[in-house]
Each structure stands twice: as C-alpha cells, then as structure tokens.
Amino acid sequence: QVQLVESGGGLVQAGGSLRLSCAASGRTLSRYAMGWFRQAPGKEREFVSAIRWSDGYRYYADSVKGRFTISRDHAKNTVYLQMNSLKPEDTAVYYCAAGDGTVVAGRYDYWGPGTQVTVSS
C-alpha cells in the first residue's frame, strides 16, 4: 500500500512559480515510478511528468518541457514538481501518482487527493 499527499498549490500570476510536493509512504515505494498529472474543469486528466525512484530518469509532457522540473528526495520520500513561467492554461488540479511511469493515468495504482493550482492572467 502506498499513501500520497500533495501540497504547495495556490494562486499565482502568469509568469510566476510554484513548487508542488508529494509526500509518499509505503514499504514498496522503490517499485514504482512517480508521476504528476493534472485535470482542468471539463477536461480529461493529462500527464505532466514522471520520475523513477530507482535511477531518477524523468520525462515531461511537451506542454511543460523547459518550464517544469520533477525531482525526488529519497531521504524524505518526497517528489517535487517545480513549475516556472506558469501560464493560465496550467490551471488545474494537480495529482501525484505511483505507478509504472508511463503517460497513461490508468497505469498508476495509487493517487493523492490533488492540489489546486490557479494561474491568473
């Protein structure tokens, strides 16, 4: 069993930055990759970024490449998503998930409750 809790969301102006955190717990964390997804009102949940616990390999959706950075801290069992140069279209609920590291939400087994990110223009 894996438990995930996100934090760090909020309201920011366009061009600003936020850092999301995902605190993870569970005995089998190393088996999973950690992903960030987001869901805007009326839209499907979409992949943002993912990182493997084992070797730190990471990748991003094209829409956030160059602006967002995913990282992990083994000692704290925490995954971060540093979001820079935020745009109004980044507004969504952001979810942390543990799964196989693909871009498909259905391949993730565990999800946090989500944190709201709102970017004003």
pLDDT given at position 65? 98
Backbone dihedral region for residue 56 (phi beyond 0: left; psi -120 to 50: alpha; all else: beta) = left
Distances (CA, A) of 8 to 11, 34, 94: 10, 17, 10
Mean pLDDT (the chain) is 94
d(CA 39, CA 34): 17
pLDDT given at position 101? 85
Which whole number is the average pLDDT over 9-17?
98
pLDDT digits (tens, 9 = 90+) for 21-71: 999 998 777 888 999 999 999 999 999 999 998 888 999 999 999 999 999
Phi, psi for 73 (deg, rounded to 5): -125, 105
Residue 29 contacts residue 89 (beta carbons within 8 Å) = no
Q: How confident is the model at residue 111 (pLDDT cuts 50, 70, 90)?
A: very high
pLDDT given at position 84? 98
d(CA 102, CA 53): 14
pLDDT given at position 51? 95
d(CA 117, CA 52): 24
Dihedral sign computed on CA atoms, order 48, 83, 111, 76: positive
